[in-house]
Amino acid sequence: MPSAALAPSPAVVRGAALLTVTALGAALSFGARAQAFDAVRLYGAVPDRNGGTVGVAVVAGHEYMGSDERRTRAYPAIDYRWANGWFAGTTNGIGYNFSRQPGVQYGLRMTADFGRDESRSPVLRGLGDVDARAELGAFYNLQPTAHTFVTSSLRYGSGQGRDGLLIDVGAGVTAPLSPAWRVGAGVAATWANAEYTQSYFGVDAAQSARSGLGLYQASAGVRDVRVSVSATYAISPRASATAGLSFSRLQGDAANSPIVRDRAGVNGVLAVTYAF
């Protein structure tokens, strides 16, 4: 058992676990960058005070959404929240939280869709790159208790025509096993409009001629659903380590795309963060 001087802060352990279930659960599915900004995560910081987290996450995912080729990468996790409501970082983007109520967060933000390079896989050859785009959006989070949460966000501006729209929803629970250990589980889903789905899963006439794939028109619908589990260990009052697993499955027209080689997959992550 840790001594009183070294005992981890409950806020640090709880915040790390909540971040794990949402942020890392999203990152696990089909590769970290595909859903990097599916929710705003402001957990762990002390209300009405400046604070942030810094760390690194190693994610074992796929080359692109729907790929059967594995990809393991390390990503920085740096986020900061100001007491006046502004926040910025690699997990949340840049935005403003209008709420001053504990357990409720809502606001506006700017994020990024990182696109997709056709060089990632032979399957994508001839489809061209999907360029990285800036996204504008909004979010609403609710934390009914210390151990439960609901997240939602809207993001607009991705895809070839800069008119892709994504709506993300998620929910989860956490539970303490000891003063230093906490586990969590979460579910999430993402809906995409036709412009986004066509950019990432469709094949138009020009792409068909170059790639040899058949024409495919992708329409709006639920893009994917995700289930994640995690365990967080408080190394110190400010540092924590997290391991997580996630099961993800593409849905609808996304799942039926000719570029999809694996509709579902189990992915993993290991992350270490420090709160300051």
Predicted TM-score (pTM) above 0.85 = yes
pLDDT score of 130 more than 90: yes
pLDDT for the residue 171: 95
Tokens of 87: 């926040």
pLDDT for the residue 216: 98
- Do 239 and 274 form a contact (C-beta atoms < 8 A)? yes
pLDDT score of 32 more than 80: no
Q: What does residue 171 show for φ and ψ, rounded to 5 degrees?
A: -155, 155
Residue 25: pLDDT band with limits 50, 70, 90: very low
Q: If 0-12 CB within 10 Å is exposed, 13-18 middle and 19+ buried, where does residue 91 land? A: buried
Residue 106: how many other CB atoms lie within 10 Å: 16
Strand 164-176 versus strand 264-275 pairing type: unpaired
Nearest of 164, 159, 166, 165 to residue 128 by alpha carbon: 159
What's the whole-number average pLDDT of the chain? 86
With b meaning 16 or more CB within 10 Å and e meaning fewer, what string describes 116-135?
A: bebebbebbebbbebeebeb
With b meaning 16 or more CB within 10 Å and e meaning fewer, what string describes 262-276?
A: ebebebebebbbebe
C-alpha distances (whole Å) from 193 to each of 15, 85, 145, 157, 190 are: 32, 30, 33, 11, 10
Strand partners for 151? 141, 170
pLDDT for the residue 45: 52
pLDDT for the residue 19: 47
Question: pLDDT per residue over 206-265, tens digit each?
Answer: 999 999 999 999 999 999 999 999 999 999 988 999 999 999 999 999 999 999 999 998
Q: How far apart are CA 234 and CA 172, in angstroms?
A: 20
Q: Which CATH superfamily is domain 10-275 in?
A: monomeric porin ompg (2.40.160.40)
Tokens of 249: 């499955």
Question: pLDDT per residue over 48-94, tens digit each?
Answer: 789 888 999 898 989 999 999 999 989 888 899 999 999 999 889 99
Nearest of 59, 113, 61, 109 to residue 81 by alpha carbon: 109
Q: How far apart are CA 235 and CA 273, in angstroms?
A: 10
Residue 35: pLDDT band with limits 50, 70, 90: low
Residue 266: pLDDT band with limits 50, 70, 90: confident
- Do 152 and 141 form a contact (C-beta atoms < 8 A)? yes
Question: pLDDT per residue over 158-193, tens digit each?
Answer: 999 999 999 999 999 999 999 999 999 999 999 999
Q: How far apart are CA 106 and CA 143, in angstroms?
A: 12
